[in-house]
Amino acid sequence: DQQVKQNSPSLSVQEGRISILNCDYTNSMFDYFLWYKKYPAEGPTFLISISSIKDKNEDGRFTVFLNKSAKHLSLHIVPSQPGDSAVYFCAATGVGGANNLFFGTGTRLTVIP
Amino acid sequence: NAGVMQNPRHLVRRRGQEARLRCSPMKGHSHVYWYRQLPEEGLKFMVYLQKENIIDESGMPKERFSAEFPKEGPSILRIQQVVRGDSAAYFCASSYFTGELFFGEGSRLTVL
């Protein structure tokens, strides 16, 4: 039962262009959403988050958009850099905090120099 | 300030053997979480522990798997009588309270 879905397993983008990673969820009780970035042979590292009371959160080159009615969120990276090449996981949680953190299957982003 | 430390990074076991994975949380963190990532899948929650207590083990398989976080020493995830389907990356994360999770680099278990 995959409650958080990332339907694109991979994405390739030219350096300097915008990367858009998408995530859909099914559980309307989720109220906090996170993006994690993972390099090979390393653990996931927290990137950016958004609460359900917001529809946008920005941190430097990274912006997360939340569309609650569509149960959809997206991560925009602009401009994309080769160092952004990694697997990006979307995660969501509701009541219960981190022990109820549901992850998507990840999207592998490749930024082409 | 060292991050979350997991060892071993790689572990190879034959079917029927036991696997023990260790996790030392970040200094000052008393909350530990174990996640499993099967091939081609996302991370799935297994268990949440505080010192000497299991708070939530709803993601843990009912048999062969156990976890502990003793008063002294690292958290241990123990898998008895491993099977091929246990082959996965096991990630530990810690947090100060129930805030942001900091992940370790993972332990990759291969069952032959």
- Residue B8's nearest CA partner among B22, B19, B28 is B22
Q: What is the mean pLDDT of residues A61-90?
A: 97
Quickly state the pLDDT bin for A95 (edges 50, 70, 90): low
The mean pLDDT value for B96-107 works out to 83
Single-letter amino acid code for the residue at A110:
T
Contact A105 B40 (CB under 8 A): yes
pLDDT digit string, tens, across residues A66-76: 999 999 999 99
pLDDT of residue A96: 61
B103 at the A interface (CB within 8 A)? yes
Q: Which tens digits make up the pLDDT trace of B46-63?
A: 999 998 899 989 899 999
Looking at residue B100, its pLDDT comes to 77
Per residue, the 3-state secondary structure of A18-84, as one string, reads CEEEEEEECCCCCCEEEEEEECCCCCCEEEEEEECCCCEEEECCEEEEEECCCCEEEEEECCCCHHH
- Percent of chain B scored above 90 by pLDDT? 70
Q: Does A45 touch chain B (CB under 8 A)?
A: yes
Give the separation between CA B41 and CA A106, rounded to whole angstroms: 8
**Closest CB from A44, A98, A105 relative to B98:** A98
Confidence of residue B39 (pLDDT cuts 50, 70, 90): confident
3-state percent breakdown (helix, strand, coil) of chain A, nearest 5: 5, 55, 40
Question: Of the candidates B33, B6, B5, B36, which has an alpha carbon nearest to the alpha carbon of residue B96?
Answer: B33
Mark yes or no for CB contact B104/A43 under 8 Å. yes
Angstroms from A101 CA to nearest CA on chain B: 7
Distance separating the N- and C-terminal Cα atoms of chain B: 36
Write the DSSP symbol of residue B81. Answer: S
**pLDDT surpasses 90 at A19:** yes
Contact A89 B41 (CB under 8 A): no
Whether residue B67 lies within 8 A of chain A, CB to CB, comes out as no
Greater confidence (B40 vs B28) lies with B28
Q: Quickly state the pLDDT bin for A93 (edges 50, 70, 90).
A: confident
Closest chain A C-alpha to B28 CA, distance in angstroms = 17
Do the Cβ atoms of A89 and B104 come within 8 Å?
A: no
Q: Quick check: B45 and A105 CB within 8 A?
A: no
Taking the Cβ of residue A105 and every Cβ of chain B, the question of whether any pair is shorter than 8 Å is answered with: yes
Min Cα–Cα distance to chain B from A78, Å? 24
Q: In the structure, what pLDDT confidence band is assigned to residue A94 with cuts at 50, 70 and 90?
A: confident
Q: Per-residue pLDDT for B85 more than 90?
A: yes
Share of chain A above pLDDT 70, in %: 95
